[in-house]
Structure 1
Amino acid sequence: MEWSGPATALLDHAQDKIVVLDEQGVFRYLNRATEDILGFDPEQLRGEEAFDYIHPDDRDRVTARFAAVVDGPEGGGGTIEYRHRTSDGEYVWLESRFAALADPSTDGERYVVSSRDITERVAAQRQRDETTVRLEELAAKSTDVLWMFSADWEEVLFLNEAYEPIYGQPASVIEDDPSRLIDVIHPEDRATVRDAMDRLSAGESVDFEFRVNPNQDYNRWAWVQAEPIFDDDGDVVRIVGFTRDVTDRRRREQQLRVIDTILRHNLRNDLNTVLGHAEYMGEHPDDEPERHADAIERSTTELLHKAEKQRRTIELLTGPVAPCRVDLVPAIESAVAALTDRYPDATVETVLPSALAAHALEDIGRAIRELLDNAARHAEGSAPWIRITADRTADRAVVEIQDACPPIPEYEYRILTGEQEMNGVTHTSGLGLWLVYWMVDLSDGHIAFETSPEGGNTVTVSLPLAAEAVDQLD
């Protein structure tokens, strides 16, 4: 059969490269698109072995596909992608479909190969793949949570490994059921989060913060920035964003507010006392000057003491935070010994195990000393009574301090736990309890207060157990 005439003239106008091969894979016909795609004049390739022009790495796949077509009509279905050499020695990517001619010539079987140039598509896909790989590498190293959801929040399209440490929930949980994301949001913040999700689905950007992680009593603060992704019709098709743990930043902001408030409060009160006595002495130089001088000395000494405590507190807050293994029993015993030296009439009862290893700041004993000193200082009468117990429950080390003091004012500990904001009217009286709170907080621990109207307070400090202590429980 001679490949010429009206039929081949029509084929020469096709944009796809169309060739006819015999059973041996020899070119018997090539249309004009061959020159447009490969740079070869069709007549230059006629009679050549077609597979000699296939990239060596792709040749076996292509010849196997052609052999399957030769063996039977069912063997060559679908398309195949491969590299074909051009006239200048380079390669282009082709997508080809093989088929046997329905009306073969008398001088042997003939096979049609229809091909299109997909070089740009392959290059674009490779670029996307490389970009995806780079993004996945960056996502794997990022401490931020990078995520992508469908517009209706019913499918997780991407989520990196940073999710669980911040939210306290395995990524697989929300990958299986995205609605479970709300489970790890603080109950008081869930309405805010749902509203943000609705706004994103409606096409708005969001930027907000909320509390997460029930495993840490929702003590972690998360900052989210997110954007809707639109299609060509302006419809939201995806939601992308990131979550960053901003607990440290929120802690620093709180610390600055507290220190500033307490410093101004203490300076104002103590200096007003000093100025008051100094003014009185100036106006009444013969009216008990020794008594006023003693009052000035006490106030300035107390102010210096507060300034020194503030300096030590700032050192704690600005220094490196590195919880480590700490045996709480020696720390408690040392704190009790220091207390009885200062308050020899105090009665201190202890119920302690032989050892209790916690994962906490190395100087966590300082927080215990502060709690004991606070209880003794506010005791009614000259003989303070304090009871301190330590034990373990589940994966926590628990220290409980009881006293017989008047109830701690509610606003004092509600400010500490975040239930009440500090302002110019409500503020704590000093840094002592704040120092305890921050040391416990930096140890990933928790502190709770319980008071009795009849008198007496119970302060409970819960700290993570050291690794070997958890292993012993297991």
Structure 2
Amino acid sequence: MHSTHQHSEGCFRHLFEELEDAVVKFELVDGEPIIVHPNSAFVDVFGYDSETVIGEPLNELIVPATRREEAAQFDQRTQDGESNAAIVKRMTDEGERKFVYRGIPYKDRYGFAIYSDITDELQRERHLEVLHRVLRHNLRNDLTVVLGMATDIIESTDEEHTRRAAQKIKQKASDLSQLSDEANTIEKVLGETVTVGPVELKPLVNDVIADCNARFESASITTEVPAGLCVSANDKLQIVVRSLLDNAIRHNDTSNPQATVTATELDSTVELEVVDNGPGIPKAEQRLITGDQEITPLNHGSGLGLWLVKWIVDAYGGHLDIETSKSDGSIVRIRLTQE
């Protein structure tokens, strides 16, 4: 028994010292965390000698003056036997940096503080956020100009070759505009906490079809959705249905684009199916979306609409399936929990 205890203690010490995150063991003395033992990473990150910090108040060494009240609240939770987790600012020998902080109480008056430096990651995320925002804004403005000028050319030219070229420019600009909108929607959707509840399918599908009919005048969209049928979802389900129908009609190269939306009860789930008479979704793209093929620099799909559908359905705990029908159109099925 004694040998087992020694072995466990040895394993803990090894783990404590080898962790890449800064970890410090402390003792609460009159509510103040006093350093008992820092690991090597703590010494490297905060720039203090391991021998000189032992016995020193932890907060005085690394907590900025403006964050002392917050730190005191963490200490009180530790004293009450509760764990802490937060993103905090702490002083290092390189200046103030941001950390994921986790505080773990141990025995009566001891605890461990773990600090994972995320300053560089947050800065990269901020830079990318600004870059994406500027790119989307400029792209949207420039595409509006391109679309307007292409429309003017189509309406004013008598040359068939010029008209066809302008129509192609307009179509490509419209596709880019759609891609930009989808990217913006994805950013918003992925940044939200998912809360689900009962959503009735019939009125939602009817609203989306009305919108699509207004945008695609040549399309024929039918629906077979029973009244009162509800699934576990939220308002983002409308985005799913709109993306599926938009994909079915926008990329349909027939003279009479058609799509049908049906909903079927299957035990405790509901299967929502969108069928079209278009060219079909390429097999490689189907495998990418459903996860049967890895994303690579050469294999990444051509749009974001189906990715958006996939990620929302996954957040609902649902399932997405894509196949090509015998008539070469696409069949997209999503299965959701019935409410």
In the superposition, the TM-score normalised over structure 1's length comes to: 0.36
Between structure 1 and structure 2, the one with the greater Rg is 1
Task: Point out which structure has higher relative CO (alpha carbons under 8 A, 6+ apart).
Answer: 2
Could you tell me the TM-score, scaled by structure 2's length? 0.49
